[in-house]
Chain A
């Protein structure tokens, strides 16, 4: 793809006469082009996905049998923590920022992101953060072993790996906030004439709302980890009972960030799905306006449900009831979205290319994850299931089968546009079916384990849990290895393959398909005219 872009770029430079751009590595370090930065975001997130995935496989290998086989309990805890942090902040979030960088300017007819230099900076903050997180494994005391939630008092007591994790979170937060400011400004100010907000492509809508969520909650997380840092080193006692602090307060502050974070991950995924399903059902999205309002209501309600993560920490019954009902309320706008996707497919002339397979896989499995979420929203049930594998199964159905599948759908959907080549459909379908079956093998049994009482974040377990854990480990390894097939498919597409048309998908709509495949390095320098 680089070769293709450079070629087009060169032609462009000749035309405009400003051909002094660096080449090779410096091209990527200094680039301010939204397409280059989008590509770097996507590759970075894939690299982090592999690192976090390797950690997941260490966890699953240890859980293949009861007893301790391969790793010490401390290292197991570090793997749990880093897997969570890396997958959330290093893999899933940058992946969707990558999509946003690539697609938003092309979807709204803008020449680039609003603040191109800041865009470069928001990307280049990520690698240091990724290095801080992974390198923290090798310092004295090892990485943070608190779980990704970083609860005190443990997080106040850990070694310097914890400080590295805190700084990584600071840097990642700064990167997300800058990225969000860029996205909001681009969408609000740089739309092509005639593109009103209610004609905005659904992916841009989801990102607009997500970016607002990020700006609202990432600073709160930054504040929370800063409080841990000052508790650790500067004698404050925000979370230290002796100094008048309270460790439970951290949980409230953390989940005030943590619950909107769930939708920060889910909403852009919804956006991608809202493009893929109409394209392959060959029908416009059903209920556009209701989709927009659903996104906005999900975002608003997400601010007022945080304490459902902490029912067992101690709360008055009135509080439990309030958080239970508010949580259930989120199922309403989410249900609107799911039913609208199904209604979009209803009587459509559907074909099942790889993006559509992943979108339908998303729809099935995300709905399962949503239902187990409803189960967990009930206080009386949650008190039983808190910190069991049922919760682990629930959020992996939402995060992996939800967000990750939607990212796969998006990659296969836009890869012909990005690279100018069609991907290998047969291999793409193999990737889907391998991922679909192995994902369910890995995570469905965890529902049963959780219901039977297997606690999460523990490297050992009682004998009766062995069979389901073995199925889960087999599934996890097949799932992990299947992603190498994905890497191969993407590399193969970049290197060559059938030439992709400007609009390779019959039912696709949107400004991005009016550009050539691959698009020129600078697109829409003159805004397109919308009818």
Chain B
């Protein structure tokens, strides 16, 4: 290999290493890009209040059952819905409560994430007020009633007559436990 080829090779090597490094950065750049796309297109808008329904006409010809579910993920909290289910008319303003208690002897901060079953009901489930819009901090042993105010959009497809609203409380990093939780045994 003559010296000319050798220096050409070095130049190509440098360029390709730069490309590889840039692509590693590009992988990370996809994270803010993804969040921006979700924000602009309104996908994944879980933690903000929805626009209120424009038509306030209550559709009394339909009844929709709303079932409530509550879970915690790595939080020492007892968390349950104040009511198993309610039956409502689309367009009607509904107030419900969730009950939560911190079972740990110090303050813990959590964030609730909602999800809906069936999934497509989510876009017709207009939450006007929700404890999931903000982080919640509970002092040692503190118990709280937390409200959700929502309207079911009358545009909800006809075939949907039951909606499950499920919340999962996640720990806000580092507040619940100083040590990692026990790994879950397989099969449990």
Contact = CB atoms under 8 A, between A and B. Distances in A.
B178 interface: no
A97 B18 CA distance: 22
Contacts of A241: 113, 168, 170
B5 A190 contact: yes
Contacts of A111: 1
A220 B27 contact: yes
Given A235-B173, A241-B170, A243-B172, A185 B13 contact: yes
B172 A223 contact: no
Given A237-B173, A240-B170, A241-B170, A246 B27 contact: no
Contacts of B34: 246, 249, 252
A74 B186 contact: yes
Nearest to B170: A242
B27 A222 contact: yes
Contact of B20 (A185, A219, A246): A219
A216 B27 CA distance: 10
A336 interface: no
A181 B27 contact: no
A189 B15 CA distance: 13
B12 A219 contact: no
B25 to A, nearest CB: 8
B21 interface: yes
Given A114-B9, A238-B31, A252-B34, A246 B16 contact: no
B187 interface: yes
A157 interface: yes
B184 A220 contact: no
A227 B34 CA distance: 15
A249 B31 contact: yes
A376 interface: no
A47 interface: no
Contacts of A112: 1
B8 interface: yes
Contact of A223 (B5, B27, B174): B27
Nearest to A111: B1
B12 A215 contact: no
Contact of A219 (B23, B173, B184): B23
B179 to A, nearest CB: 13
B119 interface: yes
B19 to A, nearest CB: 5
B16 A115 contact: no
Contacts of B1: 111-112, 190
B23 A74 contact: no
A215 B15 CA distance: 11
B73 interface: yes
Nearest to B119: A314
B55 interface: no
- Chain A contact residues, majority secondary structure: helix
Contacts of A215: 16, 19-20, 23
Interface residues of B, number: 40
Query: Which has the most chain B C-beta neighbours within 10 Å: A188, A216, A242, A256?
Result: A242
B41 interface: yes
Contact of B12 (A159, A188, A221): A188
A160 to B, nearest CB: 9
Contacts of B24: 219-220, 222-223
- Chain B contact residues, majority secondary structure: helix
Contacts of A190: 1, 5, 9
A242 B23 contact: no
A311 to B, nearest CB: 14
Nearest to B19: A215
Contacts, number: 105
Interface string A207-237: 0000000011111111110010000000101
Nearest to B47: A244
Interface string A166-209: 00000000000100110011001110000000000000000000
B27 A219 contact: yes
A453 B151 CA distance: 38
A219 B21 contact: yes
Given A219-B24, A242-B170, A252 B30 contact: yes
Contacts of A223: 24-28
A237 B8 CA distance: 43
Interface in B3-45: 5, 8-9, 12-13, 16-17, 19-21, 23-28, 30-31, 34-35, 38, 41, 43-44
A348 interface: no
B171 interface: yes
B173 A243 contact: yes
B23 A220 contact: yes
B183 interface: yes
A185 B9 CA distance: 6
Query: Which has the most chain B C-beta neighbours within 10 Å: A157, A188, A220?
Result: A220
A310 interface: no
A403 B19 CA distance: 27
Nearest to A145: B186
Contacts of A253: 27, 30-31
B36 to A, nearest CB: 12
B111 interface: yes
A242 B20 contact: no
Interface in B48-86: 73
A241 B170 CA distance: 8
Contacts of A159: 183
A24 interface: no
21 contacts: A72-B186, A114-B13, A115-B13, A141-B183, A142-B186, A157-B184, A180-B16, A181-B20, A189-B9, A190-B1, A190-B9, A216-B23, A219-B27, A220-B24, A220-B26, A223-B27, A241-B170, A243-B172, A252-B30, A253-B27, A314-B119
Interface of A: 72, 74, 111-112, 114-115, 141-142, 157, 159, 177, 180-181, 184-185, 188-190, 215-224, 227, 235, 237-238, 240-243, 246, 249, 252-253, 256, 314, 316
For the complex of A and B, list the 9 residue pairs with the smallest distance between their C-beta atoms, beginning with the closest: A242-B170, A223-B27, A219-B24, A219-B23, A220-B27, A185-B12, A181-B16, A189-B8, A114-B9
Given A115-B9, A181-B17, A314-B119, 15 more contacts: A114-B12, A181-B16, A181-B20, A184-B16, A190-B9, A215-B19, A216-B23, A218-B23, A219-B27, A241-B168, A243-B170, A243-B173, A246-B44, A249-B30, A253-B27
